[in-house]
């Protein structure tokens, strides 16, 4: 008899790319040394400042500049940091995550079933 674990509806952290997570950690480490740990949570007018920084890094990358000249870290890692800050500061509570994830999973399954009904039916029985 095979073991069972009912976790198909849980967050799949293994899908997070380890290199992207390491680059994000590099930006956080750089910021912790330059400023202080967790300083990003205390920035005034964070909506405008992180959004502007995000676009500056994206535009530099779009313009062909891969690395930030000051930190020498990739512009995209700085952009990822900005998005992380905005998401964390805009919705700091996780109390609605389970319900929102359940809805998102339902919608994703419906879309996938419309795209390929035989694959979705096989996955539901597996």
Return d(Cα 29, Cα 122) in angstroms, integer.
Answer: 45
Q: Classify burial at 79, counting beta carbons within 10 Å of its beta carbon; exposed 0-12, middle 13-18, buried 19 or more.
A: buried
Instruction: Give just the sign of the alpha carbon dihedral 45, 50, 55, 56.
Output: positive
Q: What percent of the chain has pLDDT over 70?
A: 87
Determine the Cα–Cα distance for residues 16 and 21; give it in Å rounded to an integer: 7
Residues 68-79, mean pLDDT to the nearest whole number: 98
Q: How far apart are the first and last CA of the chain?
A: 16
Q: Bridge partners of 74? A: 67
CB atoms within 10 A of CB 30: 18
- Does the CA dihedral 89-95-96-102 come out positive or negative? positive
- Say if residue 117's pLDDT is above 80: no
Average per-residue pLDDT for the chain: 89
Q: What is the pLDDT of residues 96-115, one digit of tens each?
A: 888 888 888 889 889 988 98
Q: Per mean pLDDT, which of 21-35, 85-99, 106-120 is the most reliable? A: 21-35
Write down the pLDDT at residue 119.
60
Range from 14-23, 30-39, 72-81, 100-109 carrying the lowest mean pLDDT: 100-109
């Amino acid at each position: 008899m095979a073991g069972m674990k009912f976790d198909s509806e849980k967050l799949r952290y293994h899908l997070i790319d380890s290199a992207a997570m390491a680059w994000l950690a590099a930006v956080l480490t750089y910021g912790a040394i330059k400023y202080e740990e967790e300083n990003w949570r205390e920035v005034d007018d964070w909506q405008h400042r992180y959004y502007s920084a995000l676009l500056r890094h994206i535009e530099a990358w779009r313009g062909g500049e891969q690395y930030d000249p000051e930190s020498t870290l990739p512009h995209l890692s700085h952009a990822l940091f900005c998005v992380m800050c905005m998401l964390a500061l805009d919705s700091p509570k996780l109390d609605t995550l389970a319900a929102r994830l359940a809805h998102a999973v339902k919608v994703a399954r419906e879309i996938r079933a419309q795209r390929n009904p035989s694959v979705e039916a096989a996955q539901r029985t597996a």
